[in-house]
Structure 1
Amino acid sequence: MSLADGARGDLRLTGLHKRYPNGFVAVESLDLVIPQGSFFALLGPSGCGKTTTLRMVAGLEDVTKGTIHIGDEDITHAKPYKRPVNTVFQNYALFPHLTIAENVEFGPKRRGVKDPAQEVKDILALTELSEQAAKKPAQLSGGQQQRVALARALINRPDVLLLDEPLGALDLKLRRAMQIELKRIQEEVGLTFVHVTHDQEEAMTMADTVAVMNKGRLEQMGSPYDLYTNPKTTFVANFLGQSNLIKGKVVGREGSGADEVVKVDMYGTIATIKASRVHTDSKDVWVGIRPEKVLIQPAGTAIDAPGGHLAGAVVSEAVYMGVSTEYHLTMPWGQELICFEQNTGRRGGLVSAGTAVDVSWRPEFAFLLDSSQDAEAGREEE
């Protein structure tokens, strides 16, 4: 069931800027192109400017500078009700005295559609609400109410559907189920979804493309896989999951083209990083590695990885988490690294606290960032 027939095109934000009268800059020089028919997420901590951006697209906030286009149409200063945009908020804002079907048909009737019954029926089927049509909102669960709000927005056939933390009021289990539902619905209707969230898992589960925002600016944009595996700033490295960041100094380069690598001295151990994962020209760097890519073995035993080994680590804590174990490793230079190890049963038990271990990782999983960036950026925002 495609609702995207006649859609105008990509959503383009060009040089978007929002400054409030008190001088606070919420959004600064934001450039985004959101392809028509994609599921796009604006991700970041509270106060990063993501909701303000959404409200400017919806027409609920004035633009200080810059433009907003949908296809060739400039909607920068258009009235909210004249924009081909609908918004689903966290609180749903359903009419309590109307049935579910009446809530959904409110938009078409307001637009002068004389008999929207079939359209309402189709939208209720799409959102799996057919059996709830005669009920009132108070009789539905939180997840069902969220779907009603979604159905009420979709029936208006907007070019762009804006989702402002729509799952925030749901419990964890229901929220995860609704993430899959939202993605299914978006793929079926073919509309552009722009989803604002502070939840990293939510953004990565649903979105084709994620834009990470911090202090009103765009930190990095890309697919969930690219952002997670190859972050370009310490903020992205820490905000999306966890990262071990180890100080190092570039000592040389080898190879060329796709085979080019950078050599880094980390406290006497030489690490190798692919040139495509190097995001600085500085000699002083952070070597980044995700905890699940870190491998450990009791000191002196073989590690199944071709990377450089770091010797002299000691397990300071082993936290059993069912599917995995989180190891805290105290390195010889005093830094604590984290290792996530899947509990496949291969090891035969936990590595206990106090055990001396060797540490390694495959070189293609490491990334390199400028050491002038704050190693704690993004961590306090979790």
Structure 2
Amino acid sequence: MSQVADREAQARDADGADEGLRLRDLTKRFAAFTAVDSLDLDVPSGAFFALLGPSGCGKTTTLRMVAGLETPTSGSITLGGADITYARPYRRPVNTVFQNYALFPHLDVFENVAFGLRRRKESDVDRRVTEMLDLVELGAQTRKKPAQLSGGQQQRVALARALINQPQVLLLDEPLGALDLKLRRSMQLEIKRIQTEVGLTFIHVTHDQEEAMTMADTVAVMNAGVIEQMGAPAELYENPRTTFVANFLGQSNLIDGRVTNRASDFVTVDMHGTSVSIPSERAHADSDRGWIGIRPEKVLIGEEGEALDAPGNTVPGGVVTDVSFFGVSTQYLVRMPWGQELQVFEQNTGRRRIFTTGDRVELSWRPEYAFLLDHSQDARAGAEQEDAPGE
């Protein structure tokens, strides 16, 4: 265990409880616009937590209030049991890593990381900086200036400079937004490794669904200033509770249906003449109408009359309207008898031919993969978002 993780564990033992970060009824209004609306949130110490949402959802405003860069309209923020709602930014045990790195261009890597320690006239600077640069795997780059480093290396310097201050919470504001796709994916794993090693609380703000699900232990999906749903990435993806979460995290087929029976284990729904079953714990509609949800990769596609390995929910009469080949998989659009086009993702294993436009097909899925959402919600919510970092 690292020295930072040791200190966190000792603090928890001394207090007798893990206070972590707590937001209570936190609200931020800008004139007539409410950016964050009565937000309650608990982030335990040592967690890797992600605030995920589209532009304007309130995620960055929340982060800035925790950092002390915005003053709440109402509500409270406590960290480790201490109220920091109106504390000055420099008096909070919090550091922030921004998308633009904010490194000092005239200082080399070593001095960028040492800056805070030297300013506070702390001791043993050389050893602590060396240990931190080794942690972020930049021990061989100590005397280079930021301009001589790649984007990923600059981001590691920014991480090291923030972590060396031993904050209780590290805030990451779209930290990978300036990197290209390949480097971004590499840095996702690198930041997760660093967080695991140091044992600090990381709160990561992003509009990138893949980034949040890859890195975070817990994800809170924000929309219009509130949290739509919070949980482990797999839980949010497999069992969304709102149409916004279903559409924003990946893609979903949402099909109009009418509930015909509610049993203890399964809910039966009439889907345009076909009876489908949905596990009760995945049914989130109280009325007799709902949206039947199924992820495209959970849908099986086959020839007319073909026996598919998904007993219970077989839907005949489909016609392929579009085919997109992606190498490892093929994406189909299939028009169903009621006129709706459903998405199907199939892995290219070579076991079956790739269908072509105009082919008549049947679709099927296992009941345990479906979910049911309230029909009063917009089926298109979250599906088409104009994402922009920093909102």
TM > 0.5: yes
> CA 1:2–1:114 in structure 2 vs 1: closer, same or farther (change >3 Å)?
closer
- The one-character-per-residue Cα deviations of 1:98-121 (angstroms, maximum 9, x if unpaired) are 110000000111122033110000
Indicate which of 369, 372, 378 corresponds to 1:368. Answer: 372
Tell me which residue corresponds to 1:16. 26
Q: 3-state DSSP class of the match of 1:311?
A: strand
Contact 1:18–1:26 (Cα < 8 Å) also in 2: yes
The one-letter amino acid of 1:24's match is F
Given candidates 125, 128, 140, the residue that maps to 2:149 is: 140
The count of corresponding residues between Structure 1 and Structure 2 is 376
**Correspondence for 1:151:** 160
Give the 3-state SS of the residue equivalent to 1:150 in structure 2.
helix
Match of 1:286 in 2: 291
Paired residue for 1:225, among 220, 224, 234?
234
Q: After TM superposition, list the pairs within 5 Å mapping 1:105-124 onto structure 2.
A: 105-124=114-133
* Equivalent residue number for residue 190 of structure 1: 199
- Of 239, 248, 252, 2:257 maps to 248
The answer on 1:377 being equivalent to 2:381 is yes
Q: Tell me the SS of whatever aligns to 1:309.
A: strand
Letter in 2 for 1:261: F
Q: Distance in 1 between matches of 2:313 and 2:294?
A: 13
- State how 1:155-304 maps to structure 2 within 5 Å: 155-254=164-263, 256=264, 260-304=265-309
Of 92, 99, 103, the match for 2:101:
92
Task: Identify the residue that residue 324 of structure 1 maps to in structure 2.
Answer: 329
**CA offset at residue 318 of structure 1?**
1.2
Q: Distance in 2 between matches of 1:368 and 1:2?
A: 47
Once residues 5 and 97 of structure 1 are traced to their aligned partners in structure 2, the CA distance between those partners, rounded to angstroms, is 34
Query: Matched residue of 1:167: which SS?
Result: coil
- Runs (4+) of structure 1 exceeding 4 A deviation are none
Matched, 1:350 2:354: yes
Q: Does 1:55 align with 2:84?
A: no
Displacement of 1:307 = 2.5
Q: Return the alpha-carbon distance in structure 2 between the equivalents of residues 74 and 357 of structure 1.
A: 61
Question: What percent of counterpart residues are identical?
Answer: 67
Matched, 1:311 2:316: yes
Give the Å deviation of 1:380.
1.2
Cα separation, partners in 2 of 1:250 and 1:289, compared to 1, 3 Å? same
Residue 363 of structure 1 and its aligned partner are, at CA, apart by: 0.1
**1:78 to partner: Cα distance:** 0.5
Give the residue type in structure 1 aligned to 2:121: G
Which secondary structure does the structure 1 equivalent of 2:172 belong to?
strand
1:302: Cα distance to partner? 1.1
Aligned residue identity for 1:98? L
Residues 31-64 of structure 1 deviation map (CA, whole Å, 9 limit, x = unaligned): 1101100100000001000000000000000011
SS at match of 1:92: coil
Asked whether the 8 Å contact 1:163–1:193 carries over to 2, the reply is yes
**Which AA in structure 1 matches 2:130?**
K
Once the two structures are TM-superposed, the CA of residue 156 in structure 1 deviates from its matched residue by 0.1
Aligned pair 1:33/2:33, yes or no? Answer: no
Please tell me the root mean square deviation across aligned C-alpha atoms, in Å: 0.9
Q: What is the identity, as a one-letter code, of the residue corresponding to 2:50?
A: A
Counterpart in 2 of 1:359? 363
Name the CA distance, whole Å, in 2 between partners of 1:354 and 1:205: 37
The letter for the 2-side match of 1:80 is P
TM-score, normalising length: structure 1: 0.97
How many angstroms does 1:2 deviate by? Answer: 4.0
8 Å CA contact retained: 1:2, 1:188: no
Give 1:126 shift: 0.1
| Cα distance, 1:253 vs structure 2 | 1.9
Please say if residues 4 and 159 of structure 1, whose CA atoms lie closer than 8 Å, have aligned partners that are also in contact. no
